Structure 1
């Protein structure tokens, strides 16, 4: 499982120009079944994505394709988590990618 922090960078002002493409990219991650959660880092620091079900290389490639990453609107920092305990609804993440 991965948690990726998308922190605003130098080109933050361009975010409105790429918001539709970024939202489409997020929607594709959910449609592909690899994004479990996406949301804002508060207060207004960027966003975060919880991902599961693909290799680290595939996850990193997916994140690199985010229009916000491509355009330098955010920088991405990914951490891999090896879940040992979860609520029952998330037991599936303990199986790994």
Structure 2
């Protein structure tokens, strides 16, 4: 599981120009069922995406395809999380027990 932080960068002023493509990128990740959640980092610092069921190399490729990343509207930081415990509603995020 990964948290992708998309912090505004040097070309932040071009966000409006690339917003439609960025939204399509997020919507595609949701349709592909690899993005679980996307939203803003407050107060207005950028955004974040919770990613599931991809390898690190797959996440890197997907992030590199975000128009905001391509046009340096944001800088992306990928944080990998190894889930160990979860609220029962989120147990689907935990790795399968050994031997299953």
Please tell me the TM-score bracket, short chain as reference.
over 0.9
Residue matched to 1:57? 57
Output the TM-score relative to the length of structure 1: 0.96
Residue matched to 2:87? 87
Q: Which runs of 5+ in 1 are unaligned?
A: none
Deviation at 1:88, TM superposition (A): 1.2
Residue matched to 2:26? 26
Distance 1:86 1:38 in 2: 19
Residue matched to 1:35? 35
Instruction: Kindly provide the CA deviation profile for residues 15-67 of structure 1, in whole angstroms up to 9, marking residues without a partner as x.
Output: 00010100000000000000011000000000000000011100111011000
Q: Which runs of 5+ in 2 are unaligned?
A: none
Residue matched to 2:78? 78
Deviation at 1:89, TM superposition (A): 1.6
Output the TM-score relative to the length of structure 2: 0.93
Cα RMSD (Å): 0.9
Residue matched to 2:13? 13
Aligned residue pairs, count: 96
Residue matched to 1:3? 3
Tell me, what secondary structure is at the counterpart of 1:44?
coil
